[in-house]
């Protein structure tokens, strides 16, 4: 399974399965920003949140190691690190304003045929494309 589409398909199936199992077994939506926010704000149901987020990170790590795709990350300059931190902060603010993220709206909400999730996902994607295009133009790429 060295084709890129096959890896993408496998990843999508795993994400969908995890979202389905979380909803079927606990009635909870697999919105990563909400799960993470619950950890930061001291939610009383921290254990499942830690397991779920740990599975996301650990699963990616195991997959990278087992397939030989793991590589030493390139060094990150201070300016790039600050840009990434700022981008992460803006994404976090956006997910609070939008009442969710692409995992909650795009994966779970669309599967439930939610119009609100459709509007949110279209907004996320459109603004992401506009932002990437603007940054490419500003960087001269």
Could you tell me what percent of the chain has a pLDDT over 90? 18
CA-to-CA distance for 112 and 107, rounded, in angstroms? 9
Return the residue matching tokens 């009635």. 27
Residue 2 above 70 pLDDT? no
SS3 65: helix
**What's the confidence (pLDDT) of residue 1?**
47
Non-local (6+) Cβ contacts of 106 within 8 A are 117, 120, 121, 124
* 67-113 pLDDT per residue, tens: 777 667 778 788 888 888 998 888 888 888 878 887 888 888 888 89
* 16-31 pLDDT per residue, tens: 898 899 999 999 988 8
**What's the confidence (pLDDT) of residue 133?**
93
Contact between residue 104 and residue 35 where contact means Cβ atoms under 8 Å apart? no
**What's the confidence (pLDDT) of residue 25?**
92
**What's the confidence (pLDDT) of residue 54?**
92
How large is the average pLDDT for residues 111-125?
91
**What's the confidence (pLDDT) of residue 134?**
92
Residue 129 above 70 pLDDT? yes
State how far Cα 21 lies from the chain centre: 17
């Amino acid at each position: 399974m060295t084709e890129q589409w096959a890896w993408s398909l496998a990843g999508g199936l795993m994400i969908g399965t995890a979202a389905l199992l979380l909803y079927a077994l606990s009635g909870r939506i697999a919105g990563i920003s909400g799960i993470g926010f619950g950890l930061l704000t001291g939610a009383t149901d921290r254990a499942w949140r830690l397991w779920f987020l740990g599975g996301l990170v650990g699963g990616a790590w195991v997959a990278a190691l087992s397939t030989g795709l793991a590589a030493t990350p390139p060094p990150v300059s201070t300016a790039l690190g600050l840009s990434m931190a700022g981008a992460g902060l803006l994404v976090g603010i956006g997910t609070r304003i939008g009442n969710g993220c692409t995992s909650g709206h795009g994966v779970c909400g669309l599967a439930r045929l939610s119009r609100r999730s459709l509007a949110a996902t279209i907004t996320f994607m459109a603004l992401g494309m506009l932002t990437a295009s603007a940054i490419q133009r500003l960087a001269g790429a």
